[in-house]
Amino acid sequence: MRFLRRSLVGLFLLLVTVGLFAYAGQSIRTALQTRWAEEVRSRPTRERVFAVDLVAFEPATVTPVLTGFGEVRSRRTLEVRATAAGRVVELADGFEEGDQVTGGDLLLRVDPSDAQSALDVAMTDLAETNADLREAVTALALAGDDVASAREQLALRTKALARQQNLSERGVGTDAAVETAALAEAAAKQAVLSRRQALAQAEARVEQAETALARRRIALEEAERRLAETELFAEFSGTLSDVAVVEGGLVQNNERLARLVDPAALEVAFRVSNAEYTRLLDADGTLKAAGVEVTLDALGAGLTASGSISRESASVGDGQTGRLLFARLEASRGFRPGDFVAVAVNEPELQLVATLPAAALDASGTVLVLGAEDRLEVAQVELLRRQGDDVLVRAHALRDRMVVAERSPLLGAGIKVRPIRPGADAEAPEEPAMVELSDERRAKLVAFVEGNKRMPAEARTRVLEQLSQTHVPARMVERIEARMGG
């Protein structure tokens, strides 16, 4: 009985399921027939129009600016080295790191006792040699007088011999008298020879004394130079750095004591690519003295200096490319050797060149131009330079045409646009964001700026003046706090 009841329940459920499937199929069939019976309505299509910013293609004479980065260097840097060994007994008051010195100022003095003693000995030796020379000159004069006297005696002996020979020929004199006169003449000749030898020795003694006197003078000059080398003077006006000496310290000869840097004779060294280097050459292949502007960003207070290219490096350098150029700076106030600066070089002028936003040019060198019925056209241009966010292009056929300022993948030839010309919906320039500082935050910023010794005095004064205001530029505050590490 139980089996029959369960079979009937199963059969009932099966019939209900089949009925539900049949009802669902009938509903779907009715819906499809209703859908197919409806009339198809077509909606009219409308062309999509894009709004684009336009700029005028206006050819003009433009001076391209080559930008790069470089390092400030000093054209006059001198290593201050000791010229004498010994103890430092005197040191200039300004002989410290970062102090200014004037050309000709005494920087330090080494103990001159030994050099002074050597000078005194040299002066004494010179006086002694002068006395020896005077004595030799006197002896030379006496030797000359002896020679003259001996020659006079020889003349008398010669006359006496001649007289005796004459008497002997006349038979009045004797042979013994003639022999005696001949012996006397020979003795006189021997005396003359002896006096001449003494004269030659006196002359040699004078020459030796003169040679010794020259040596003593050289020794005296050397002693004076040694004494002068105990004092060290500044060769030119500049700033001291790397000072490594104190009063009372021992120094060795040629030991480096400091470096003297001329802050007024500065130059900047910067590297350019080969393509940029060729644009700075004239027709003869000589580097032009192009104008240069150098900028140092010091916590929002930018320092600038102008100058001109003076020379180029003789070699490229190991592992380097391009060319290393040097530009001499003029009125470089606030700059110091070692500063990392931005360099802008004025290239030769370009004629009939238009300045466009870099986004207006694609990789194939084409731009989109506004044509008839506000539809876009593609035009080919010649790319000459890239200047930051702008490009310098040339195309004679596009004079006074309107060019799309910023391209997008949705824009192309034949697309209809809604042009937005320059000057439309012009907005006032946005003022820099200002913030109001709390007393604690302002005090931290002021303390950091005052303690920054590397900041030029003018920049520090300008920043402190801005920090004293009620509202301070937000950009400057962010940069100072970034330097603080906060």
Residues 107 and 119 grouped into a single domain: no
User: Which residue is listed with tokens 């702008």?
Assistant: 390
CATH code, domain carrying 392: 2.40.420
> What pLDDT is attached to residue 28?
85
| DSSP string computed for 263-296 | TTSEEEEEEE-HHHHHTTB-TTSPBP--EEEEEE
Tokens of 477: 């505050």
CA distances (Å), 130 to each of 123, 126, 219, in order? 11, 6, 14
- Domain assignment present for 50: no
The yes-or-no verdict on residue 324 having pLDDT over 80 is yes
CATH code, domain carrying 159: 1.10.287.620
The pLDDT > 90 percentage for the chain reads 10
- Residues 363-391: pLDDT tens digits? 888 999 988 888 899 999 999 888 888 99
Residues 176 and 252 grouped into a single domain: no
Q: Return d(Cα 421, Cα 53) in angstroms, integer.
A: 6
Comparing 257 with 453, which gets the higher pLDDT?
257
- Domain assignment present for 62: no
The answer to which of 102-111, 237-246, 454-463 has the lowest mean pLDDT is 454-463
- Domain assignment present for 137: yes
Which residues are bridge partners to 301 per DSSP?
298
Q: How many domains does the chain have?
A: 5
Residues 234 and 107 grouped into a single domain: yes
The yes-or-no verdict on residue 46 having pLDDT over 70 is no
Q: Which of 346, 373, 399 is the last residue of a domain?
A: 346
Comparing 51 with 178, which gets the higher pLDDT?
51
Residues 303 and 368 grouped into a single domain: no
Comparing 171 with 341, which gets the higher pLDDT?
341
Residues 341 and 365 grouped into a single domain: no
> What's the length of the chain?
486
Residues 272 and 243 grouped into a single domain: no
Q: Return d(Cα 241, Cα 460) in angstroms, integer.
A: 22
The answer to which of 87-96, 180-189, 267-276, 281-290 has the lowest mean pLDDT is 180-189
Which residues are bridge partners to 250 per DSSP?
87
> What pLDDT is attached to residue 301?
60
- Domain assignment present for 191: yes
Q: Using 50, 70 and 90 to split pLDDT, how confident is the model at 427?
A: very low
> What pLDDT is attached to residue 123?
92
- Domain assignment present for 36: no
Tokens of 292: 């240069």
Residues 461 and 378 grouped into a single domain: no
The answer to which of 35-39, 83-87, 180-184, 221-225 has the lowest mean pLDDT is 35-39
User: Which residue is listed with tokens 């000359």?
Assistant: 144
Other C-beta atoms closer than 10 Å to the C-beta of 210 total 15
Q: Using 50, 70 and 90 to split pLDDT, how confident is the model at 218?
A: very high
- Residues 91-134: pLDDT tens digits? 888 788 888 888 888 889 999 888 888 889 999 988 988 988 88
- The mean per-residue pLDDT over the stretch 136-162 comes to 84
Backbone CA torsion sign across 353, 355, 356, 361: positive
Residues 121 and 173 grouped into a single domain: yes
Residue 467: name the closest of 426, 427, 486, 439 by CA.
439
- Domain assignment present for 218: yes
The yes-or-no verdict on residue 326 having pLDDT over 90 is yes
Residues 238 and 316 grouped into a single domain: no
Residue 388: name the closest of 161, 49, 68, 103 by CA.
68
The yes-or-no verdict on residue 178 having pLDDT over 70 is yes
The yes-or-no verdict on residue 154 having pLDDT over 90 is no
Residue 56: name the closest of 370, 312, 417 by CA.
370
The pLDDT > 70 percentage for the chain reads 94
Q: Using 50, 70 and 90 to split pLDDT, how confident is the model at 426?
A: very low
Element at 33 (helix H, strand E): helix 2-37
The yes-or-no verdict on residue 295 having pLDDT over 70 is yes
Comparing 302 with 363, which gets the higher pLDDT?
363
> What pLDDT is attached to residue 327?
92
Q: Using 50, 70 and 90 to split pLDDT, how confident is the model at 485?
A: low
Average pLDDT, the chain: 84
Residues 240 and 107 grouped into a single domain: yes
Residues 357 and 409 grouped into a single domain: yes
Q: Using 50, 70 and 90 to split pLDDT, how confident is the model at 429?
A: very low
The answer to which of 73-82, 166-175, 341-350 has the lowest mean pLDDT is 166-175
The yes-or-no verdict on residue 483 having pLDDT over 60 is yes
Q: Return d(Cα 450, Cα 465) in angstroms, integer.
A: 12
Beta strands in 313-408 (DSSP E): 323-330, 340-346, 350-357, 366-370, 376-380, 382-387, 390-394, 402-404
Q: Return d(Cα 177, Cα 82) in angstroms, integer.
A: 85
Comparing 301 with 230, which gets the higher pLDDT?
230
- Domain assignment present for 60: no
- The mean per-residue pLDDT over the stretch 139-149 comes to 85
> What pLDDT is attached to residue 44?
52
The yes-or-no verdict on residue 450 having pLDDT over 90 is no
- The mean per-residue pLDDT over the stretch 463-481 comes to 81
Residues 147 and 104 grouped into a single domain: no
How far is the first Cα of the chain from the last one, in angstroms, to the nearest whole number?
90
The yes-or-no verdict on residue 299 having pLDDT over 60 is no
Could you tell me the residue range of the domain that residue 444 belongs to? 434-484
Q: Which of 208, 223, 238 is the last residue of a domain?
A: 223
- Domain assignment present for 74: no
Q: Which ranges of 111-174 does DSSP label H, i.e. alpha helix? A: 113-169
The yes-or-no verdict on residue 439 having pLDDT over 90 is no
- The mean per-residue pLDDT over the stretch 62-91 comes to 88
- The mean per-residue pLDDT over the stretch 410-421 comes to 87
The yes-or-no verdict on residue 3 having pLDDT over 80 is no
User: Which residue is listed with tokens 């004079």?
Assistant: 399
